[in-house]
Amino acid sequence: MSLLALSGLTAFYGSSQALFGVDLTVGEGEVVALMGRNGMGKTTTVRAICRMIVSKGGLTFAGRDLHGLPSHAVARLGIGLVPEGRRCFADLTVRENLVAAARPGPWDEARVGDLFPRLAERRGQRARTLSGGEQQMLAIGRALMTNPRLVILDEATEGLAPLVRAEIWAAVARLKIETGMAILVIDKSVRDLARVSDRAVILERGATVWSGGINELTPAISETYVGV
Ligand code: ATP
C-alpha cells in the first residue's frame, strides 16, 4: 500500500479550477519527483495534500483519508513540508526555529546538525541573517524535527547558487540512503531530480499526464512535458 495516494484529485481557487485529476503515489522509502512546467499545478497539489486548500477525489496518507483534516493534523500524521519560499521564523534563531517544530522521534537538533553542519555552527544566529541556502537547510531541518514519515520539498533548490544546490541534493540523497525517508520533491532541474528520484509524476494543466520509473523518463518525454 502506498504511504501517500492521490487519485483523480481536483481543486479550485475560488471559482477557478486548478487541479483536474492528479494521480500520484509515494511508497515507503520512495523518492518521487513531481514535475511539470510553471503553473501546471505542482504547488497546488502540495497545498491540497497539506490541506491548505480544499480538494476532492482520493487523498490518503498511511491509509487515512486526509479530507476534512486541518493542516496541523496532517503534519501530526507525519507529513513534513518544506514550503516554496522557506518561511522560517525570521526573528527566531536557528535553534529556536528547530525546537519550535520538534516532535518526539529520532530526529533532534543534533541529528539535523549532523546533516547540515552549517546550521549547527549558526545555531544562535537569527534566521533572517542566514543565506538563502542556509535558510533552505533550516526549512528542511525544521521539517525533519517533526519526525515525519514523508517530507515534501517544494522547489528544493530555487534561487540557490550551484554549490549550495549540490549540498541540498547531497542531503536529500543522504535522507534517502541512510534513513529510507519517503520524499516528494519539486525542482526546476530534471537532471538533479533524476539523480535522486525513483519515480516521476508529470503534471500538465492540473492533471497527471505521465508517471513512471525514473529510467523510463526519456529526454523526449521531458522535452514534451517539462521543456528541457
Ligand atoms: P510554479 O512552478 O510556477 O510554482 P506550479 O506547477 O507549482 O507552478 P501552481 O502554483 O500550482 O503551479 O499553479 C497552478 C494554477 O493555479 C495556475 O494556473 C495558477 O495561476 C493558479 N493559482 C496558483 N495559486 C493561486 C491562487 N492563490 N489563487 C488563484 N489561482 C492560483
Q: Say yes or no to pLDDT of 227 above 90.
A: no
Residue of 16, 20, 37, 42 to test ligand 1 pocket, by largest number of atoms within 8 Å of CB: 42
Quick one: pLDDT at residue 72? 93
Q: Which domains does the chain have, with CATH numbers?
A: 1-78+191-228 (3.40.50.300)
Residue closest via CA to ligand 1's atom 27 equals: 13
Q: What mean pLDDT is predicted for residues 58-83? A: 95
User: Side by side, which strands form the sheet with 31-35?
Assistant: 64-65, 55-61, 4-13, 16-26, 207-213, 199-204, 31-35, 182-185, 150-153, 79-82
Please, which residues have CB within 8 angstroms of residue 166's CB and are 6 or more apart in sequence?
Answer: none
Q: What mean pLDDT is predicted for residues 77-99? A: 92
- Cα of 148 to ligand 1 centre, how many Å? 26
Distance of alpha carbon 3 from its chain centroid, rounded?
14
Q: Say yes or no to pLDDT of 86 above 90.
A: no
| pLDDT tens, position by position, 28-53 | 999 999 999 999 999 999 999 999 99
Distance of alpha carbon 153 from its chain centroid, rounded?
2
pLDDT confidence tier of residue 228, bands split at 50, 70 and 90? low
Residue closest via CA to ligand 1's atom 31 equals: 13
Interatomic CA distance for residues 196 and 18, integer angstroms: 28
Q: Say yes or no to pLDDT of 122 above 80.
A: yes
Residue closest via CA to ligand 1's atom 9 equals: 41
Q: Say yes or no to pLDDT of 210 above 80.
A: yes
Q: Please name which of 124, 169, 129, 176 lies closest in space to residue 150, comparing C-alpha atoms.
A: 176
Give the ipTM.
0.92
Please list every protein residue whose CB sits less than 6 Å from any atom of ligand 1: 13, 16, 18, 36, 38-44
Lowest mean pLDDT among 25-29, 88-92, 147-151: 88-92
Contact in structure between 205 and 10 (CB atoms under 8 Å): no
Whether pTM exceeds 0.90? yes
Query: Average per-residue pLDDT in the chain?
Result: 95
Bridge-based pairing state of the strands 4-13 and 64-65:
unpaired
What are the b/e assignments for 74-83, b being 16+ CB within 10 Å? bbeebbbbbb
